[in-house]
Amino acid sequence: MKRFLAILVSALLLTTMLLGAAVAEAPVTIRFLNGFTGGDGAFMKKITDGFNASQSKYVVEELQEKDHYVKFETGEYDLVVIHGDLLPTYQINGAIQPVDSLYEAAGLKPEDFHPTGAAMVTLEDQQYAFPLDIHPLTMFYNKKLVPEAPKTYEDILALAGMLGDNVYPMGIPGSGLSEWYMMFLAAQNNVELTDEGALKFDTPEFAEVLLKLNQMLFVDKVSPVGLGLDGEFTTFMTDKPDASAVQTAVALTGPWFYTAALEKYGEDLGVAPLPVIGKGPGSYGGAHTIAVSAKVTDPAKLEAIAEYMKYMFTTENLLNWADSGQAPLYLPVIEYLAAHQEEYPLSYTNSLQFENTRIAPPVYNVREQSQYLGSTIYNLVVTKEGLTLDELMPELEKATSLAREIADE
Amino acid sequence: MRVKPWKAFLFFLPFLIVFLLFWALPFITGVVGSMYNYRLGTNRNDFVGLQNYETILFSESRHHDNFFLGLGNTLIFVGISVIPLVIICLLLALLLDRVKDPWKKVFRTLFFMSYAVSVTAVSAIFIWMLNGPGSYINVTLSRLGIISAESPIGWLSEQPFAWLSILGATIWWTVGFNMMLFVNALNEIDTQLYEASSIDGASYPKQFRYIIMPSIIHTFWFVLLNTTIASFNLYGQSYLITRGGPGQSTSSLSLQIYRTIMENKNLSVGMAMAILMGFVVMLFCMAQYLLTQRKKDYMEVRK
């Protein structure tokens, strides 16, 4: 009996020890949420899979969801991709936490990133995210029609007389990138759009920018009128025009269209920074950052996040992100892109624009604040021939008043 | 045999569970939620009573503007869509009723097929046909010399074309459903009535007036009511085809509610808007019902 008891106790002890060891060695899991549901999702997954395979202490569980912001706000996630323009909103809402200590733990410094990216994630003198990339408005051109990339508005105007019937220098969309078109011209004219935490549109300088856009369409006729959704790109992709269709030689558009354009034009596709249409160079774009949920307080999880960031922000691993066509903000990768321009034409070109790319102003709920501008006012600008300042200003005042109402909520 | 009450309750239980889970609970959550100031992503969640309703209905806020803009646009769509959606479906059903088998079955299937397509696919088709100067319709019109390539019709970017495009897409998409209801109602009519009236020399218009319409009148009112509610709920077509544009001129009330909740994260205000929309639809349907009841009584007296 004693012998049986001894065996039983030993077996129990052994089981407890094994279980304890298993618990002690259970990897720390981080739930990483992002909205990369397009072609770029596979490239981020490659980084995550690489990290999971490289060690056994931590596991990153990556979830790619379409409405990932709603999921983030209603669920339990540790790490989240937030667009640069929304970072101030999430910071004000207290949904994300400062990550200065994680920079340190990951062996990273704000100076390791392009200054535009570093400034974007710095709120109230603290780092609130790791800047991943900027995807600015960029220029594609059809080398068969335009051997050299236009650099100025004069170059574009000159194209107007050279391209023949039904071929226009560029396209101004009816909708889609509406806000980007207004904002990139504002950036090129150095127009300030904020006033005490709210967007401010009712200034003569911004009105002038919008009237210039109207003039490009109806006076200079650099673009066909009546282009619909994503018209800047669809007309660029039009086959050889005849009497029934128009084509454009240049597209100022989003980098996400690159793959489709490359498939169509192959070596005849040119990529270049935006031409200077205003007073100086400038572009407008979106950006991705990686932020940490305010709910994460467990030191083990924070350590795991730091390790993941340390792994991601290396030239070798972050190049996967450049492979997707994105332009990373991590300086060693930017240097690598400069040395390998032929392999990464789009990412390299976009990295050249970082210096002058503007992200949406850092105000609360910026997307809601600019909704009226992007829909009603843009539609007025691109459809009303001979638009005047007197017609435009009341609308800009209304947009400003709506923005103020949202900012003051 | 007398069934014990608890056994009868067991039969009723599945319905009760589904009703409570998928109707009563969401409805009560919506009503209660609309009395808070909850905004997703913030810690704000205080009871505010009827303040959201007051803001939407009477204040000079953007919520008031958005609600009435959406309501106005929705009423425009109801106004332009209900009559064509009912009349076209009725005409198609009448045409099919005169076609012999097997062609009747073939056409019935063909017309109904579009109803099985998702709104996303319908929208993609109509965007391809109508968006910009390179769209199928504009290129065809240009080739026929009706318009020039440099002055395309802004089917999705100008009014009234944007409404016409949404209307066209809605008719193409939903025509099969109402048509099937009418076809079934027409099948129920006793063929002897047609034969007898023909012997008496009744023409087709007279048959339609005195035999067909009185026979399908209940289906007709049902289709009218159902179509009105469906038009009030306009969402997918304006969200996917015109994105609420040009400007915000095709942004329906459902779309405004979606934007308030999903894009602007203002859950409580969005819920209040949804409850108000429910009331508007209910009032509209009640008025329509009362009107049709009077009309029915009148027709029955005439018979």
Q: Is the pLDDT of residue B98 over 90?
A: no
Residues A107 and A156 in one domain: no
- Interface ipTM: 0.80
What is the per-residue pLDDT across A23-61, written as a single tens digit (0 to 9) for each?
Answer: 556 899 999 999 999 888 999 999 999 999 999 999 999
Is residue B263 in a domain? Answer: yes
Examine the domain organization and report whether A201 and A265 are in the same domain: yes
Q: Looking at residue A160, what is its pLDDT? A: 85
Digit-coded pLDDT (tens) for A55-110: 999 999 999 998 899 899 888 999 999 999 999 999 999 999 999 999 999 999 99
Using a CB-CB distance cutoff of 8 angstroms, which residues of chain B are in contact with residue A89? 41
Q: Looking at the complex, report in whole angstroms how far the Cα of residue B140 sits from the nearest Cα belonging to chain A.
A: 8
Q: Where is average pLDDT lowest: A17-21, A203-207, B196-200? A: A17-21
Here the CATH number for the domain that contains residue A204 is 3.40.190.10
pLDDT number for residue B212: 94
Q: How many CB atoms lie within 10 A of CB A181?
A: 24
**How far is Cα of residue B5 from the mean position of the Cα atoms in its chain?**
40
pLDDT at B263 (0 to 100) = 84
Q: Within a domain: residue A394?
A: yes
Q: Is residue A255 part of a domain?
A: yes
Number of Cβ pairs < 8 A linking chain A and chain B: 111
Mutate to test the interface with B, among A82, A221, A246, A408 (most CBs of B within 10 A): A246
Question: pLDDT band for position A165 (50/70/90)?
Answer: confident
- Note whether A248 and A386 are same-domain residues: yes
Residue A390 inside a domain? The answer is: yes
Task: State how many domains chain A has.
Answer: 2
Q: Which of A166, A174, A383 minimises the CB distance to B150?
A: A166
Q: Is B145 left (phi over 0), alpha (psi -120 to 50) or beta?
A: left
Written as six digits, the tokens of A67 are: 């409405």
Task: Give A389→chain B minimum CA distance, Å.
Answer: 19
pLDDT digits 0-9 by tens, B23-69 = 999 999 999 999 999 988 777 789 999 999 999 999 989 999 999 99
Length in residues, chain B: 303
Distance CA A100, CA A377 (A): 40
> What's chain A's average pLDDT?
92
Residue A13 has pLDDT above 70, yes or no: no
Query: In terms of domains, do A251 and A316 share one?
Result: no
Instruction: Chain A: give the shortest CA distance to residue B84, in Å.
Output: 27
| A73 vs B40, B244, B264: nearest CB | B40
> By 3-state DSSP, what share of chain A in percent is helix, strand and coil, each rounded to 5?
50, 20, 30
A368 interface with B at CB cutoff 8 Å: yes
Range of lowest pLDDT (A238-247, A277-286, B92-101): A238-247
Residue A242 lies in a domain: yes
Answer with the one of A334, A358, A382 that is the final residue of a domain.
A358
Rounded CA-CA distance B197/A405 in Å is 69
Q: How many domains does chain B have?
A: 1
Q: How far apart are CA A117 and CA A136, in angstroms?
A: 12
Q: Are residues A272 and A387 in the same domain?
A: yes
Would an 8 Å CB–CB cutoff place A374 in contact with chain B? no
A198-199 and A167-170 strand pairing: unpaired
Does residue A236 sit in the same domain as residue A248?
Answer: yes
Radius of gyration of chain B (CA): 24
- pLDDT classification of A113: cutoffs 50, 70, 90: very high
* Position B5 in a domain: no
Closest residue of A to B155, CA-based?
A228
Q: Residue B143 falls within a domain, yes or no?
A: yes
Q: Which residues of A touch B244 (CB under 8 A)?
A: 375
| Contacts with B154 from chain A: Cβ below 8 Å | 174, 226, 228, 383
Structural domain includes residue A12: no
**B17 lies in some domain:** no
CB contact under 8 A, B41 and A383: no
Question: Is A402 close to B62, i.e. CB distance below 8 A?
Answer: yes
Answer yes or no: do A298 and A340 share one domain: yes
**Residue B149: which of A246, A367, A376 has the nearest Cβ?**
A246
Position A183 scores a pLDDT of 96
Nearest to A132 by CA among A146, A150, A140, A120: A120
The domain of A70 spans 25-135+286-358
The pTM (predicted TM-score) of the whole model is: 0.86
Mutation target among A86, A229, A237 for the B interface, most CBs of B within 10 A = A229
The CA R_g of chain A, rounded to the nearest whole Å, is 25
The answer to whether the CB atoms of A245 and B142 lie below 8 A apart is yes
Residues A118 and A214 in one domain: no
Joined together, the tokens standing for residue B199 give 């012997």
Same domain? For A30 and A122 the reply is yes
Q: Strand (E) positions, A191-300?
A: 194-195, 198-199, 247-253, 269-272, 283-292
| Residue A1, in any domain of the structure | no
Has residue A11 been placed in a domain? no
Question: Is residue B126 domain-resident?
Answer: yes
Range list of H helices, A39-146: 41-54, 68-74, 87-92, 100-105, 115-121
Residue B6 maps to a domain: no
Does residue A384 sit at the B interface (CB-CB below 8 Å)?
Answer: no
Task: For residue B139, list chain A residues with Cβ-Cβ distance below 8 A.
Answer: 244-245
Does residue B87 belong to any structural domain of this protein?
A: yes
Residues in A closer than 8 angstroms to B130, CB to CB, are 228
Can you give the pLDDT at residue B141?
92
Which positions in chain A touch B127 (Cβ < 8 Å)?
A: 229
- Average confidence score pLDDT of chain B: 90
At B233-246, the pLDDT tens digits run 999 999 999 999 89
d(CA B244, CA B178): 26
Please report which confidence band the pLDDT of residue B262 belongs to, taking 50, 70 and 90 as the band edges. confident
pLDDT digits (tens, 9 = 90+) for B202-251: 999 999 999 999 999 999 999 999 999 999 999 999 999 999 989 899 99
Q: What is the pLDDT of residue A42?
A: 93
Q: Which residues of B touch A407 (CB under 8 A)?
A: none
Is B280 inside any structural domain? yes
A8 belongs to a structural domain = no
Q: Grade residue A10 by pLDDT with cuts at 50, 70 and 90.
A: low
In terms of residue numbers, what domain contains B183? 30-302
CATH number for position B241: 1.10.3720.10
In the block, residue with structure tokens 């109707």: B23
pLDDT interval class at A239 (50, 70, 90): confident
Q: Which of A317, A337, A358 finishes a domain?
A: A358
Query: Same domain for A252 and A151?
Result: yes
